[in-house]
């Protein structure tokens, strides 16, 4: 069966997975208002193409934190990829390396960071750090990441507690218990015989703690989950290097703005001082162009990567990335943009629909 778009991958992936696994991957918080609006909000934006321009050559390359990537389409941190494919994050990392884009590895990956990096040693890797109450664990993790060549730390800020995910509860899936079992220590430390520390994120981590985090790493720190101008301004004030505008795919607090809607507010607030990215609801190349037109440096994909894994493993992830890149290439050509730098706000308008 030909899988021609991300919607095809979604439909096929659902057939490959158990109901419990599918509900975990797709699961939204509460009534799913934000989950659905993430996608619907893109459709409220219309394109304003410019014609009679030379589009014989299209260049989708860009940079993030000074690193070149082949397209402004990267991979968000999502947990437990082995739910969808046995090799899990190792397959995801290989596909990202082949595509020459950034992969943000989750704290709750199915494999150790050492195993994932070994599978794709030439890849551009960032790490999603859920800050732990035990700062010794945070420091040890940062040291491991720096030694392995990670290029940035992504601090997810919107999970002081887990959102109300009804699907998991109906399936009797205790996500908190699974997270508590995740051992964040290095392979060597696990052999020490000492009991594993719990790994739930700290509920007390706040702005005042950022200097301590910055003092233990030389890596740029990116905040994921910012949705307001007030927090964006605080990020700049605290010398944060980037923001991923995100509502956790509608899995945390329901009835917050769609990511693409919050993007405008955040971009305006930082006023070019730091890079801004976004995730949530991107399903087509048109969506990517709209996000870039609103000021995102690149977009990050969550669920579609898992769909690709469930369908074809590493090759499925690569196909998902290739489809989106090709759709962006076409959209750029049809809109009169020869390079990512030519994508500007005047290419879009907001529909009354």
Length of the chain: 353
Q: Are 285 and 327 in contact (CB under 8 A)?
A: yes
Judge whether 248 counts as a catalytic residue: yes
Nearest Cα to 290, choosing from 245, 326, 335? 335
Q: What is the pLDDT of residue 190?
A: 53
Q: Are 188 and 162 in contact (CB under 8 A)?
A: no
Q: What is the pLDDT of residue 197?
A: 41
The fold of the 6-51+62-350 domain, in CATH, is TIM Barrel (3.20.20)
Nearest Cα to 238, choosing from 266, 208, 267? 208
Q: What is the pLDDT of residue 198?
A: 46
**How many CA atoms within 13 Å lie on the side-chain side of 327?**
19
Which regions in the chain score pLDDT beneath 70?
Answer: 1, 173-199, 352-353
Instruction: Report the DSSP pairing between strands 152-156 and 221-226.
Output: parallel
Cα gap 234→106, rounded to integer Å: 25
Burial 181-192 (b: 16+ CB within 10 A, else e): ebebbbeeeeee
Q: What is the pLDDT of residue 193?
A: 41
Q: Are 75 and 92 in contact (CB under 8 A)?
A: yes
Annotated binding site: 77-79, 106, 128, 130, 156, 165, 224, 246, 248, 251, 279-283, 302-303
Q: What is the pLDDT of residue 178?
A: 58
Annotated binding site for glyoxylate: 165, 248, 251
Write down the catalytic residue from 12, 248, 315, 329: 248
Annotated binding site for FMN: 77-79, 106, 128, 130, 156, 224, 246, 279-283, 302-303
Q: What is the pTM of this model?
A: 0.93
């Amino acid at each position: 069966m030909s899988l021609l778009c991300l919607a095809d991958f979604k439909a096929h992936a659902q057939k490959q997975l158990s109901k419990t696994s599918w509900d975990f991957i797709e699961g939204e918080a509460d009534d799913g208002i934000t989950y659905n609006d993430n996608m619907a909000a893109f459709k409220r934006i219309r394109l304003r193409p410019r014609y009679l321009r030379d589009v014989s050559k299209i260049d989708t390359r860009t940079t993030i934190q000074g690193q070149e990537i082949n397209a402004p389409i990267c991979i968000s941190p999502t947990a437990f990829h082995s739910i969808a494919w046995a090799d899990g994050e190792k397959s995801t990392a290989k596909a990202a390396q082949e595509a020459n884009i950034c992969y943000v590895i989750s704290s709750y990956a199915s494999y150790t960071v050492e195993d994932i990096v070994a599978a794709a040693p030439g890849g551009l890797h960032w790490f999603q750090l859920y800050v732990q109450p035990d700062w010794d664990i945070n420091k040890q993790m940062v040291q491991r990441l720096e030694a392995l060549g990670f290029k940035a730390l992504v601090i997810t800020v919107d999970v002081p507690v887990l959102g109300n995910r009804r699907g998991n509860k109906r399936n009797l899936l205790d996500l908190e218990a699974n997270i508590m079992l995740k051992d964040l220590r290095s392979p060597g430390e696990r052999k020490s015989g000492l009991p594993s520390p719990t790994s739930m994120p700290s509920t007390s981590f706040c702005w005042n703690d950022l200097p301590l985090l910055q003092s233990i790493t030389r890596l740029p720190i990116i905040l994921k989950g910012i949705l307001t101008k007030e927090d964006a301004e605080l990020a700049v004030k605290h010398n944060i290097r980037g923001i991923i505008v995100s509502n956790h795919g509608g899995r945390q607090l329901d009835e917050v703005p769609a990511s693409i809607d919050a993007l405008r507010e955040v971009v305006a607030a930082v006023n070019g001082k730091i890079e801004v990215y976004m995730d949530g609801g991107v399903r087509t190349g048109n969506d990517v162009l709209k996000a870039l037109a609103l000021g995102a440096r690149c977009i990050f994909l969550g669920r579609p990567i898992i769909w690709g894994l469930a369908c074809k493993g590493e090759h499925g992830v690569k196909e998902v990335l290739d489809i989106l890149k090709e759709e962006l290439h076409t959209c750029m050509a049809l809109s009169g943009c020869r390079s990512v730098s030519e994508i500007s706000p005047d290419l879009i308008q907001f529909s009354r629909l």
